Structure 1
């Protein structure tokens, strides 16, 4: 009994010694691995400064299957437990990163001491600079991506945008691309601008253009040395450009409005307000002063091509009376349209609609028509010309109808170029077919003949501004007075309808009017009591209500000469 107990005890002690021996071997193995690890990273230390070992679970979690180091790997014994995960942290003593093994959780960071903070500060340098600048109350440099910066610039008013382009080269390039201006037009961020040309100052034709920012009611001056000494020219606006056509200049007294010895111009100038640049377009066939102009923009779905007929194919249909053709089908229903014959020295042509794959939707293609005006010897002209911006060429068109009179106003409306004469006759030029149409309205609005009527096209509607007498509102003893009225022509039944009355008395016999979308702008300038005054008005056209209101009063004319009343011209752009 005693022998058996002693043998069992001896056997248990031998097994315990074997267990201790195996444990000591594992400790030596772990100690050697730990020493090798210390040689590779001498900064790795224990948690309390004593000799430490690394558990096998720590080594397994430290080295993955691919043999690389896992940054921030879980080193706890229970890898599946969420409670055994902790981010790596640097030691408070600043000696390095401490791997913790055994039953405690830890993670290993492969970066050397302080590298994590350096990398973080480098990647967030701009944010740190902004925070330091805010704390020190110093100027902050904000760096925005190009797309966000472009969206900010495109929403600025024109004056702010021009100032922003002066900040740096990058901003200038962003705000000068065709894509930028296309975004500005399509985003409805533009506002109307009124440009006043042909003013006279101190006896000379001024080299200044006055521009009114309608939104802020503020006038600006633009130097235009190229217009110095030029007067009695006509202007037309198309998109972002203004075309200056014809005009006169004195030969003996350069710069003054002197028609005793003068030269009539054929040249056509183009002014771009956005870049404040000038360029030349093709010159007219005939020199003209104060011609009547009309603009038609060509749509992207069709082209208008000019084809001249050979001399052998020319055909003229003349009736027995006055060389006028017979009446034919009339889209205006109640009007009488007549096609007039051409003389043999003219070049008839026609327009053909034709699709083209080469057409660029962003290309600014338009047609400019110039008729009438005064020639080189101050004689009235009845000829006309048409300008194609795509080919940059002028082509003659048929003359105005016989006995039409002197053209005083014109505008393009729904593909037809309407012209009104001083003898109260209305004609329209069919741009596509290339002939004139005589239009009879019933009746014509009564007017004072000293004031020439002005045709206006607004949202596909044809208007006319004329001055007529008002009989004292029907009250006895009230004096008659002259008022300026706005009339609309029904393009189907060809009847004139009074729309509204202009609020100002018609003191200016050469008042200028121009339209932009659903707005009609007017500038009146006159001399009274030895002082030149100016009034700028705007009328919003709608189906329900049409009213005038003032946008500017006496801000420009007090510096100008009274001659400006007769030489001024106006254009409206959306910028």
Structure 2
């Protein structure tokens, strides 16, 4: 890929900027058409060349108006265009114009391939229980270009920046480009972590938690492919969940560990404090590099899933035999003074036969103004067989969608069976 583009890259784009002599409107007025209107004359080429010399801010204004279907092709024109299309400024401009397209990705991996299932959520994508199926999901498999470089990260968490998904594990990091379908090895974290919190803020990735001796917060710069430690948390967490909203990195739930807590990553238990599932959130302000006052989910319980959507943090908590669903106002700059307020909202309507216990796991992702909840492990069939109840029509991969505007839950297409225990994330482009 070249560093900059040339006039040939613009030939298809420039055709739409000049009248077509074969168009009916042009044919109706032949006297107004001359050679200067031809898209292939020297004047058109000069205009095309001039576009390549535009400063970044003006070129961004042009690129943000391009249809989403053309973005993958434009990213291959030159390195400069690719850099601009992947920049936070591009996403911000697209969001302001209402052009961002949100797609849910569910990733599952084997030792030899990465499987991806995608789902676009429109008004018609939510279906009733009787209509649910996997037809709305699109499944793809990606094989490594070099088998010697393929090692899927263990205990991986995922986060997205624009069209790219970063798969971060204990000792390895992969970048999955959803536009090109390529998987590339990147720099691993500085510290080994397991079941940690991860989220993207302002075009960079932040991780925290993952063990009793891991209190450092790391930041990843995708442009430089470098990790660095940027803060130290006040407490250790294991099994925590990450989310981001309005410039804040939220570290939610997990096992609350003290200085003498277990080294759970090694499975030891000597000298441990009493372990309880934390129902609290730690808030790290990325711009000021400071920790804000921690918050606690009302009602306690075990936080089993969380995500950000439409300026709020949504938290699903388990209370042994039931679930509660909470909304935290994360809009610091809204001017309404509601930052930090909790509100309990309707819990997800799980099928009546499903038993809530510690074997059932959920993944939660914010997709635009919707919250998608997916049951990712704890086979419902096995649970029901042990209890002697009917298992017909129930399996892993149950998908529920919460519309934050209408405040309603809907059943969506079940996750395809080939996608097992996935990690879920929303991709914006």
Q: Provide the residue aligned with 2:342 in structure 1.
A: 496
Counterparts of 1:365-380 in structure 2 under 5 Å?
Answer: 366-374=203-211
Aligned equivalents of 2:251 and 2:375: distance in 1? 22
Q: Displacement of 1:369 after TM fit?
A: 0.8
The Cα offsets for residues 70-96 of structure 1, whole Å up to 9 and x where unpaired, read as xxxxxxxxxxxxxxxxxxxxxxxxxxx
**1:473-514 CA-partner distances (Å, limit 9, x unpaired):** xxxxxxxx5234233357757453202221225757321111
Please name the residue that 1:345 is paired with.
Answer: none
Matched residue, 2:167: 244
- Aligned counterparts of 2:250 and 2:216: Cα–Cα separation in 1: 15
Over 3 Å counting, the alpha-carbon distance change for 1:550 and 1:380 in structure 2 is farther
- Range moving further from structure 2, 179-188 or 529-538: 179-188
Q: How many angstroms apart in 2 are the aligned matches of 1:185 and 1:419?
A: 28
Q: Which residue of 1 is the match for residue 398 of structure 2? A: 535
Is 1:241–1:271's contact at 8 Å kept on the other side of the alignment? Answer: yes
1:244-279 CA-partner distances (Å, limit 9, x unpaired): 112xxxxxxxxxxxxxxxxx41x3222111121233
Question: 1:198-231 CA distances to partner (integer Å, 9 max, x unpaired)?
Answer: 356xxx6753222223346622233233466544
Whether 1:271 and 2:271 are equivalent positions in the alignment is no
Q: 1:569 aligns with which of 418, 423, 429?
A: 423
Higher relative contact order (CA 8 A, sep 6+): 2
CA contact (8 A) 2:365 2:424 kept: yes
Greater Rg by CA: 1
The match for 2:374 among 487, 503, 523 is 523
The residue that corresponds to 2:155 in the other structure is: 232
Query: C-alpha displacement at 1:125, in angstroms?
Result: 10
C-alpha separation between the residues in 2 aligned to 1:218 and 1:549? 15
After TM superposition, the structure 1 = structure 2 runs for residues 474-493 of structure 1, keeping only pairs within 5 Å, are 482-489=322-329
1:29-48 correspondence to structure 2 within 5 Å: none
1:456 matched to 2:307? The reply is yes
Instruction: Give the structure 2 partner of residue 213 of structure 1.
Output: 120
The yes-or-no answer on 1:445 pairing with 2:326 is no
1:198 aligns with 2:61: no
Please state how far the C-alpha of 1:459 moved relative to its aligned partner: 2.8
Distance 1:219 1:517, change over 3 A: closer
Q: TM-score, normalised by structure 1?
A: 0.45
**2:109–2:152 contact (8 Å) kept in structure 1:** no
Q: Where does residue 314 of structure 1 map in the other structure?
A: none
Does the CA-based 8 Å contact 1:407-1:419 persist in structure 2? no
Gaps of 5+ in 1: 1-123, 129-143, 247-263, 298-365, 470-480
**Structure 2 CA distance, aligned partners of 1:218 and 1:208?**
16
Answer whether contact 2:316 2:323 (CA < 8 A) is retained: no
Among 230, 234, 245, the alignment partner of 1:401 is: 234
Matched, 1:423 2:423: no
Deviation at 1:293, TM superposition (A): 0.8
Give the alignment's Cα RMSD to 1 decimal: 4.2
Structure-2 change in CA distance of 1:533 and 1:440 (3 Å): closer
Q: Is the 8 A contact 2:113 2:141 kept in 1?
A: no
Gaps of 5+ in 2: 1-19, 25-38, 48-61, 126-134, 145-149, 254-276, 333-337, 383-393
Deviation at 1:462, TM superposition (A): 2.7
Q: Which residue of 1 aligns with 2:365?
A: 514
Structure 2 counterpart SS, 1:446: coil
Instruction: Tell me how far 1:155 sits from its aligned partner.
Output: 4.7
Q: 1:205 to 1:489 in 2, by over 3 A?
A: farther
Match of 1:551 among 392, 397, 412: 412
- Cα-to-partner distance string for 1:93-138 (whole Å, 9 max, x where unaligned): xxxxxxxxxxxxxxxxxxxxxxxxxxxxxxx99689xxxxxxxxxx
Q: TM-score when scaled to structure 2?
A: 0.59
